[in-house]
């Protein structure tokens, strides 16, 4: 009986340890290029894409659509062609934000209104 219990215990441990880890897939972007539309709705953890003609340092800025206050800015290394970023919305203070892309000379390349879901 003791052996039986031991075997069962081992089986349980084995089954648990072999359970596949659930990885939440990244939702596919809703639009091909976020800057090709005037506005886009986006949820927490969703990806967005944009296209660059040259590689280099770029900045992405989120700013309030009403007061024009910058809430966050991220420096990225862009590559030629399609680039993708994942947006996290949990810490963002408002629902309507402009997303702006600027190159290293602070020239705006794209801008769109994000509606946070």
Q: Which residues bind another protein (CB under 8 A)?
A: 59-60, 62-64, 66-76, 83-94
Q: Which is nearer to another protein, 6 or 32 (CB)?
A: 32
- Least separation in angstroms between residue 89's CB and another protein is 6
Q: Which is nearer to another protein, 36 or 72 (CB)?
A: 72
Q: Can you tell me the distance from the alpha carbon of 112 to that of 94, in angstroms, rounded to the nearest whole number?
A: 15
- Least separation in angstroms between residue 41's CB and another protein is 14
Q: Can you tell me the distance from the alpha carbon of 20 to that of 112, in angstroms, rounded to the nearest whole number?
A: 39
Phi, psi dihedrals of residue 15, rounded to the nearest 5°: -65, -45
Q: Which is nearer to another protein, 5 or 66 (CB)?
A: 66
Q: Which SS3 state, helix, strand or coil, does residue 2 take?
A: helix
């Amino acid at each position: 009986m003791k052996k039986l219990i031991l075997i069962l215990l081992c089986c349980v441990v084995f089954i648990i340890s072999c359970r596949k880890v659930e990885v939440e897939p990244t939702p596919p972007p809703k639009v091909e290029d976020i800057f090709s539309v005037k506005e886009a709705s986006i949820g927490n953890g969703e990806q967005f894409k944009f296209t660059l003609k040259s590689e280099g340092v770029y900045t992405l800025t989120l700013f309030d659509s009403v007061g024009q206050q910058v809430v966050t800015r991220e420096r990225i290394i862009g590559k030629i062609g399609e680039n993708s970023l994942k947006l996290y919305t949990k810490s963002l203070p408002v629902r309507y934000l402009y997303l702006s892309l600027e190159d290293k000379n602070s020239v705006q390349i794209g801008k769109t209104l994000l509606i946070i879901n």
